Amino acid sequence: MGILEQVPGNGLKNVKYSWDEVVACAEEDDNYKIFYYGFCRPSYRIFEYLEEECRYHVEIIDTWNMEIHDMGVYEGKFRLTLPGKEYMTVRVRKIG
């Protein structure tokens, strides 16, 4: 199943967080977010706008090589090390 086919509900809506990322969340479910970095190549990102007492399953998606890397589960606000390459996506799913 493709990445966009895994989005819950009827698609994605745009969300504004930072100037150097494109963010979308599921249209009907705010617990599923995709952060796209395009030609920006951050070596890390601090996810500080998530709920503090919640757990999140995080994946890095290399859209150029079409690889998904499971980064594990994080709680509340967290710092995620990124590969520093173009066209990276981070998928964050709230799990509780």
Cα-based angle 42, 91, 4 (whole degrees, multiple of 5):
120
pLDDT at position 78: 95
Mean pLDDT (the chain) is: 89
pLDDT at position 89: 94
Tell me the C-alpha distance between 90 and 27, whole Å. 17
Give residue limits of the domains in the chain.
4-94
Residue owning tokens 């500080």: 48
Tell me the C-alpha distance between 56 and 94, whole Å. 4
- What does CATH list as the number for 4-94? 2.60.40.3950
| 8 Å CB contact between 60 and 70 | no
For residue 19, pLDDT over 80 is answered with no
Residue 32 corresponds to which tokens in the numbers above? 């599923």
The model's pTM is 0.88
Residue 92 corresponds to which tokens in the numbers above? 């964050």
**For the segment 35-51, what is each residue's pLDDT rounded down to a tens digit?**
999 888 899 999 988 88
Mean pLDDT of 56-79: 95
